[in-house]
Structure 1
Amino acid sequence: MPVRRPDPENPKVNPYRRLSASQVIAWRKCPRLWYYGWMERLKTPLPPQILRGNAVEECVCRVLRDSPAFVSADSSASMDSPLAADGSPALGEPDFWVGPALEALPESEWPTDRASLEAWATSRAEAHFQRCWDEAVAQWESSPNRIGSVDDIDVEEGREMVDAAIRMHLGQIGACIDAGGGPGIEAWRNGEREHWPAPDGFPRSWGKPHPAAGSGPVSWPEAWEFARPWFVDPDAKSFTHTSAHPEEWFQGEYDLVYRWSGSTRIVDLKASIGRGDRSGGYIDQLRMYGWLWWETHERADEPDALEIWYLGAGTVKDVPRPSTEEMYEMGEDLGRLYQAIHARDPSPEDCPPDPSPLMFFDDGGIPAEPPTHSDERARCERCEYRGLCEGSDHDISLPLERRVERFGHAWPITPIGEIQTRVSVVGDVVGLQGPNLQEDGTVSLDFTLQDGYDRARVRPSRYGAPSEVTRAIAEGARVRIDGGLASIWRGQLQIDLDGKSSVTIAGDGDEAPIVEVETRVSVVVRVWSIVAYPNGVDTHRWAITILDQTGSAASVAFKQFIPLSAAAITRGDEIAILNGEVGEWAGRPQVRIGPGARVVILRHSDDTPVF
């Protein structure tokens, strides 16, 4: 099966800390590169080439989903898929699919050979492409973290890449015809379908043979239907087709999976010509996908072929398949990497700036001569994080302030690295509700912590509850909370408890006064990226990633608290956030902009060093 979903109700690992091929590739390029991208969450700007890849892949998938037996070459119709509540195709709900209600075209209108089938598929690409392109442009332009211009990419180049993919797919169709259809052709002709069928406008169970099913030699329309690869349904919500390792610590998503021959061929689509260092990572990616397929099929099904389709060059690159022994070793190596960087929080020292050689490739992903750059640290020269890393001498003069004067007031400034997002407090339990042991081993409880005249409400975090809670907790007991997340809610201190928090009985003389908990902070920082900007439709927050010399943090403002200055703030600006609220998001500090907070632009990006 091309999809293996983890149980969302009982995950075996933190679903936000799974390993992926892109992370492994980044780690192999340079451990510090991975650290900045995934631990510090410093996402780099999105170039317009991203939208080309998205548009091309979606258009290819829409063409593959169409049927020459149902959809004429110039039709405005499409074999669209209804979606379930989670955004995945509603394969188990047969009443909502378009396919069963359609009447087949007269056979006289079906393609009869490769040339006519290619002409039909090219016309279908023409019918879909502009919509796919426009949606990809709109999605890219909606990102406040984009860089460059739509004018930097060639629309016709993207269109030609779709045609290249069609020709490569027709190579598989021709091979299917030459093989007489393959071992599963008769079962398919009788109406049998895979549990995860290739998207074709029909539900999982249909009960009837396809109109294109024949009884003699395989025709071109029949081969199109039977040999159709599995792919991510273009109507589905993102990340609903991922496949997770049986232990759930690694996940990936295949582009195309051909199964008509009785064996598995995994294909990765690349909307590029295959030059440059990235092509080395693509090879590793395909080999990991081969290993993942093997792991998710009880180690009994090894892919027969791994291929990269370079649509810009119009060539197929065969990737050497890992042997069984290599896949066992790969699983052990990847498991150790997961334990090192995701089962715990690694420090920068655990992720040294140790770059691998920069690789060279020619068109089609062919290794160039020489295969690597002569300078061992050439990768550092073009690294997006070179201004942050001690492995580079690129200086971007990040701020490190202790005081700033604004609005007739001197504001004490806290460096990001000194922000305390976790607090310890001691007090008496009042109004205890619970504790209740949950199925996942965590404890649900709610109470007020009182220390003299000072109070704080204590409750589980919305992102998880604690597991370390003393059995001796009771009304009136004096307890110590460590690792709590402090905030102010409607004028009262609130302590949220999660998996990093603990509640124990306080010892004699144990003190951690509630009154000393700091929930406000002021920072002077450089803006690394604009993560979100309100659009009046589905985004109602302003979110940025910020840096100073001591570290990085997130900052967010919602609705009426979005500062007027937000519209003028861009990547590279130096700003002060005054009287912000201390928080934590995804394990890193967060400065929330709420009542009483102010955001001031100190220097625009034109006056600061380039990242």
Structure 2
Amino acid sequence: MPVLDPPSEDPVGPYSRLSHTQADMHRRCPKMWYQRYVLGLLGGSPPLFAMGHAVEGALNRVMRDSPVLVTHDATSETFDSPLEEVDISGTGNLVIRPSTQSNASWPGLNLATLDVSEWPRERLEITTWAKARARIHFEREWSHAKEEWLEDPNRVGDWDSFEEKRKEEACQMVFAGIEFHLDEVENCMKENGGPSFNDWRAGKNRPKWPSPDGFPYTHTIAHPCAESSGDITLVEAWEVARPWFCDPDAGLFALAAIHPDGWLQGEYDLVYRWTGSPRIHDVKASVGTSDFSFGYPEQLATYAYLWWSTHNKQELVTELEIWYLGVPVRKKIHLPDEKSLLRLENRLKPLHKKLKMSEHNPENEYPGTPAPVRTFAPGGVLTDSTPLTGMARCGSCEYQLVCSDSPLKEELAKGGATRFSPTSEAKVNCIPIGNIDPFVTIRGTVREPNMVKQWPTFEKEYLEFFIDLGPSEWLAVVIKQENPKIPFGFEHGATVRIRNGIIASGWKKNLGAHKRLDVSASGTIELAPTSSEDDATFAKLIPEEYNIQAQVYNFNHQDGKWAVKLIDDTGSASFQVWGGEEKSRAVLEGYNPERGDEVVLVGAQAKDQYGKIVLQARVTKTFATRLRPKP
């Protein structure tokens, strides 16, 4: 099966799986992986990235179409799949997939079959039909790619100039993919449909995960073009040879194959199955001359391992191939045997444990030791040129200006006093990001513990209680953890110590303004019969506000949240504004930050978010955090 959902008792979770993308980035440079996945620094998104999605999406839509149901000039939406939301892990991790509902409206069931005289009978005819479909699908995919790129706050480059130079080239890549697929169709005809052809003609033994063809997953009726006997026809071969691919209407990473133990995942481009055994082909919208070509054979080997491991280690892939559509050329990749797959497993599993399962990822464990940069000719052919060693890879790395190990690193701010307004010489004192430490340790007596539904949705329920530090000295405590580790003996009247909480300002109608201790992912609770020098006094428990001067590295906006990643010479931190446009306007005062801007942030509060410190805006009737360009 090309798709396998996580096990019901998922020991890893959706955000802690390893992928080839991460493993290969770590191979290229451990520090590069650290910058991306530990610090969360996102590189820019050039139009080239969007082009790849448009090419693959258009190619898949053509392969999904049927030449006996879809005319050459039909709209792109004619053969769209009905969709549904699926919780694949039982944890609320919803993905969008083709529908499995019995009442779903599938186009293959609703469209009238074209007259037999309109069915293509030879390669030139079906090529003409497929390329006409490609033009229509490509315009849709290109427009969608452009819209997504324009909405991406991390976009870099100029779409119009890119489109003028590369749009037709991208469409020609789709045509190249069509020709490669038609080679498969012709091979299928030569083999008279392969070992499952008679079952297909009878509408029997449809796979659990069928190739996207416009019909329901559980369809048991013969295809409209299926003949009752005789040699296979061209249109039958088109239907039979169709590979499995991610349905172009499905959501991102909705159709992944996940290792039975949950630690590895991948999403195949094309899986041909008509020969009776799986053959995996990967589509590249490129000519293959970049250094990425060095990692592609291992990507295909990882897919071969994933297929093997998701089939009880009983079924091996029989062919691996890369389609370099920009040349165009099909490149065969060495096929690993079982011993090779086990060696790959023995290398990737410890890497997963290190990268994804460690509680902490100290920077010194991810040195800036780049792999050599190799040169490739078109088609991913390794040349005889001597690899560039040392720090040569830094020249093309998106972190070259901020990485502490890069010889190209620029000087960044280190805190200190700086002007905040272009109209005033007054300065604010800024703290280096790496010195921000909002955590406190307190000891006191528990009072009135209770589970309380949380404002504003009142869906989550957290443990809340008061803690008395002395006469008239108390804090309201909120344990913002789903399953907090509460020590035995915790109850009203118990003396406890809370570590790594953050002091905030609270307000409730029955309490008025008060001090609150937020205890999130980093926080712990323990019984504390004796005091410690770590215990803070009540007088020192004051909500902190932070000023920093930094560079805007990237944006992380989400629904209801405006967010930016800031970086200085000592570290990085996310700054976020919740509450929609009204709140973000108050913070930005008309300023529209861009990547690379030098900024000054004044009056931010620190939060513990999933074990990482983030900075958050505070906006009230009398005060607002401010983010401004550095004068």
Aligned to 1:508: 530
Aligned partner of 1:297 in structure 2 is 311
Aligned to 2:223: 210
The 3 A distance-change label for structure 1 pair 566 and 169 is farther
Deviations along 1:163-194, whole A, 9 cap, x unmatched?
Answer: 00000111111111111111111222221311
Does the C-alpha gap of structure 1 residues 376 and 40 become closer, same or farther in structure 2, counting only changes over 3 Å? same
* Letter of the structure 2 residue corresponding to residue 152 of structure 1: F
Q: Secondary structure at the match of 1:16?
A: coil
The answer to which of 50-59 and 592-601 deviates more is 592-601
Q: What is residue 292 of structure 2 aligned with on the other side?
A: 278
Deviation at 1:513, TM superposition (A): 4.1
Judge conservation of contact 1:526–1:547 (CA < 8 Å) in 2. yes
2:194 corresponds to 1:176: no
Q: What is the alpha-carbon distance in structure 2 between the residues aligned to residue 527 and residue 67 of structure 1? A: 49
1:360 to 363, 375, 386: 375
Q: Tell me if structure 2 keeps the 8 A contact 1:94–1:205.
A: no
CA distances 1:245-278 after superposition (whole Å, capped 9, x unpaired): 1111211111111111111111111111111201
Post-superposition Cα deviations, 1:469-495, rounded to whole Å, max 9, x if no partner, equal 201111121211223455445455544
Q: Specify the alignment match of 2:457 in structure 1.
A: none
The offset of 1:426, in angstroms, is 2.3
Which residue in 1 is equivalent to 2:71?
Answer: 72
1:256 to 257, 267, 270: 270
Determine which of 554, 557, 580 is the counterpart of 2:574: 554
Per the alignment, do residues 584 and 306 of structure 1 end up closer, same or farther by CA in structure 2, a change over 3 Å counting? Answer: farther
Q: Contact (CA 8 Å) 2:447, 2:465: kept in 1 or not? A: yes
Give the secondary-structure state (helix, strand or coil) at the position aligned to 1:306. Answer: strand
The alignment partner of 1:483 has SS state of strand
Partner of 2:435: 418
The more displaced of 266-275 and 559-568 is: 559-568
User: Is residue 525 of structure 1 aligned with residue 556 of structure 2?
Assistant: no
Q: CA deviation at 1:512?
A: 3.4
Residues 59 and 177, structure 2, Cα contact 8 Å, conserved in 1 = yes
Q: Is it true that 1:481 corresponds to 2:498 in the alignment?
A: yes
Is 2:616 the counterpart of 1:592? yes
Q: Tell me the distance in 1 between the aligned counterparts of 2:199 and 2:544.
A: 66
1:213 counterpart letter in structure 2: A
Task: State how 1:399-414 maps to structure 2 within 5 Å.
Answer: 399-404=413-418, 406=420, 411-414=428-431
8 Å contact kept, 1:94–1:203: no
Alpha-carbon offset, residue 62 of structure 1: 0.9
Matched residue type, 1:505: L
Contact 1:557 1:592 survives alignment (8 Å): yes
Determine the C-alpha separation between the residues in 2 that align with 1:371 and 1:236.
43
SS in 1 for 2:15: helix
- Native 8 Å contact 1:447 1:459 kept in 2: yes
Q: Is the 8 A contact 1:487 1:583 kept in 2?
A: no
Provide the aligned length of Structure 1 versus Structure 2. Answer: 588
- Equivalences for residues 88-103 of structure 1 within 5 A: 88-103=97-112
SS in 2 for 1:36: helix
Give, in whole Å, the separation in 2 of the partners of 1:587 and 1:10. 24
How far apart, CA to CA, are the structure 2 residues paired with 1:109 and 1:460? 68
Structure 1 residues 284 and 277, CA, compared in 2 at 3 Å: closer, same or farther? same
Provide the C-alpha distance between the structure 2 equivalents of 1:519 and 1:362, rounded to a whole number of angstroms. 57
User: Residue in 1 aligned with 2:11?
Assistant: 12
Q: Does 1:59 align with 2:58?
A: yes
Give the Cα–Cα distance (whole angstroms) in 1 for the partners of residues 394 and 270 of structure 2. Answer: 34
Write the mapping of 1:306-325 to structure 2, written as runs, cut at 5 A: 306-325=320-339
3-state SS of 2:384 partner? strand
68-77 or 252-261, which deviates more: 68-77
Structure 2 match to 1:351 = 366
Instruction: Indicate yes or no: 2:356 matched with 1:370.
Output: no
Provide the rounded CA distance (Å) in 2 between the counterparts of 1:421 and 1:481: 14
Look up the match of 1:601. Answer: 628
Matched ranges for 1:380-529 at <5 A: 380-404=394-418, 406=420, 411-420=428-437, 422-433=439-450, 445-452=463-470, 453-461=472-480, 464-466=482-484, 468-484=485-501, 487-490=504-507, 492-498=514-520, 500-510=522-532, 511-513=535-537, 516=541, 518-529=543-554
For 1:240, give the aligned amino acid.
Answer: A
- Which sections of structure 1, spanning at least 5 residues, go unmatched? 436-442, 533-537, 605-611
| Equivalent residue, structure 2, for 1:110 | 119
What residue in structure 2 maps to residue 152 of structure 1?
A: 162
**Aligned: 1:188 with 2:171:** no
2:133 is aligned with 1:121: no
Measure, in 1, the Cα distance between the counterparts of 2:504 and 2:213: 50
Offset from partner CA, 1:516-544 (integer Å, 9 cap, x none) = 25442221111112333xxxxx8443211
Question: Any idea what SS the aligned residue of 1:283 has?
Answer: helix
Contact 2:520 2:611 in 1 (8 A): no
1:398-455 deviation per Cα after TM superposition (whole angstroms, max 9, x unaligned): 00123345478754422111222544332222222369xxxxxxx9743333334344
SS at match of 1:230: coil
Q: Are 1:46 and 2:73 an aligned pair?
A: no
Aligned equivalents of 2:403, 2:345: Cα separation in 1: 31
The structure 1 residue matched to 2:595, chosen from 571, 586, 602, is 571
Is the partner of 2:104 in helix, strand or coil?
Answer: helix
| 1:430 aligned counterpart, secondary structure | strand
- Does the Cα contact within 8 Å between 2:196 and 2:274 map onto a contact in 1? yes
Answer whether contact 2:503 2:541 (CA < 8 A) is retained: no
Cα 1:33/1:226, change in 2 over 3 Å: same
RMSD: 2.3
Aligned to 1:136: 145
In structure 2, C-alpha distance between the alignment counterparts of 1:495 and 1:264, rounded to whole Å:
56
Q: Measure how far apart 1:580 and its partner are.
A: 0.5
Deviation at 1:499, TM superposition (A): 5.1
Change (3 A) 1:418 1:202: same
SS in structure 2 at match of 1:117: helix
Q: Give the C-alpha shift of residue 497 in structure 1.
A: 4.5
**Structure 2 CA distance, aligned partners of 1:238 and 1:455?**
48
Residue pair 1:255, 1:269 contacting (<8 A) in 2 also: yes
Query: Which AA in structure 2 matches 1:598?
Result: T
Structure 2 CA distance for aligned equivalents of residues 128 and 487 of structure 1: 53
DSSP-derived class of the 1:394 partner:
coil
> For the residues of structure 1 that align with 2:115 and 2:503, how far apart are their CA atoms?
69
Give 1:371 shift.
5.4
1:422 and 1:216 mapped to 2: Cα distance? 77
1:229–1:593 Cα change, 3 Å: same
Residues 415, 250 of structure 1: CA spacing in aligned structure 2 closer, same or farther, 3 A cutoff? same
Equivalent residue, structure 2, for 1:542: 562
Specify whether residues 566 and 292 from structure 1 end up closer, same or farther in structure 2 by C-alpha distance, changes over 3 A only.
farther
2:91 aligned partner: none
Higher mean C-alpha deviation, range 513-522 or range 278-287: 513-522
How much does 1:349 deviate?
A: 0.5
> 2:284, 2:322 within 8 Å by CA — same for their partners in 1?
yes
State the distance in 1 between where 2:282 and 2:51 align. Answer: 16
Once residues 212 and 438 of structure 2 are traced to their aligned partners in structure 1, the CA distance between those partners, rounded to angstroms, is 47
- Partner AA of 1:579 in structure 2: G
Cα gap change, 1:13 to 1:460, in 2 (>3 Å): farther
Q: Which amino acid in the other structure matches residue 50 of structure 1?
A: F
Q: How far apart are residue 69 of structure 1 and its match? A: 1.5
Give the deviation of 1:600 after TM superposition: 4.3
Alpha-carbon distance in 2 for matches of 1:493, 1:14: 35
Is this contact kept in 1: 2:449–2:466, CA < 8 A? yes
What TM-score does the superposition give when structure 2 sets the normalisation length? 0.88
User: For the Cα contact (< 8 Å) 2:279–2:320, is it kept in 1?
Assistant: yes
